[in-house]
Chains A and B, each alone.
Chain A
Amino acid sequence: TQLLEQSPQFLSIQEGENLTVYCNSSSVFSSLQWYRQEPGEGPVLLVTVVTGGEVKKLKRLTFQFGDARKDSSLHITAAQPGDTGLYLCAVPNQAGTALIFGKGTTLSVSS
């Protein structure tokens, strides 16, 4: 079983639509990060959430950390083609010395 389950695996939508992707686990985490990865590039950090129930906004992106710190969601409002990419959630390992990634959600936004 995967530590982090991301859903959906693939999402294809039209420009202007809203969407939510999820990162779920049965474990509790001290923090959780969301990254975006474009083809041929490394992941780029979008946000870190730390407190249960925390909501962070980054322009049209809204990130929420679950109350129990076991899951997180990423909501994109009015998606644009530039939002296309692989969205990864990641959590620190037990020692806090490395990141464990989910498999990601591949988002495709068409104009």
Chain B
Amino acid sequence: EPEVTQTPSHQVTQMGQEVILRCVPISNHLYFYWYRQILGQKVEFLVSFYNNEISEKSEIFDDQFSVERPDGSNFTLKIRSTKLEDSAMYFCASNEREREKLFFGSGTQLSVL
């Protein structure tokens, strides 16, 4: 079965540094998402992206966050100036059509020190 691929699997960074988390969604999918899961807490929606623009974002997705689809395959999440509370597992997801089966990547574990 096709997979959503995320890199790196682990990222350690210093507070205040910028990080870019990368995702390669499934090739024929059109809708892309970022979710995060703080240790021991629920999976939380960050942002959805379609047709090269953000379609929806949550309260968590403030000005420190941005997403981009720089080419035909990659989908990135940038955190401009990381905070300790940004430490979490970040999941990329995609689907072919909205409201259809969502495929998640294996996640990037971000640790902000």
Interface residues of A (CB under 8 A from B): 31, 37, 40-45, 48, 88, 90, 92-93, 95-104
Known A98-B48, A102-B42; judge A42-B56 contact (CB<8 A). Answer: no
Range for the number of chain B residues in contact with chain A = 20 to 34
By a beta-carbon cutoff of 8 Å, the part of chain B in contact with chain A is 4, 33, 35, 41-45, 48, 55-56, 58, 91, 93, 98-99, 101-107
Question: Residue on A with the closest CB to B33?
Answer: A98
Listed by A's residue number, 5 A-B pairs whose Cβ atoms lie within 8 Å are: A40-B107, A42-B91, A42-B106, A42-B107, A45-B102
In this complex, what residue of A is CB-closest to B40? A103
Find chain B residues with CB under 8 A from A104 CB. 42
Bound form: Cα–Cα A43–B103 in Å: 8
Q: Chain A's interface: helix, strand, loop or mixed, by majority?
A: loop
Contact A100 B45 (CB under 8 A): yes
* A92-B45 in contact (CB<8A): no
Can you name 16 extra interface pairs (CB under 8 A) apart from A95-B56, A99-B43? A31-B99, A40-B106, A42-B91, A42-B105, A42-B106, A43-B104, A44-B104, A45-B101, A45-B103, A92-B99, A93-B45, A96-B98, A96-B99, A97-B98, A98-B58, A100-B45
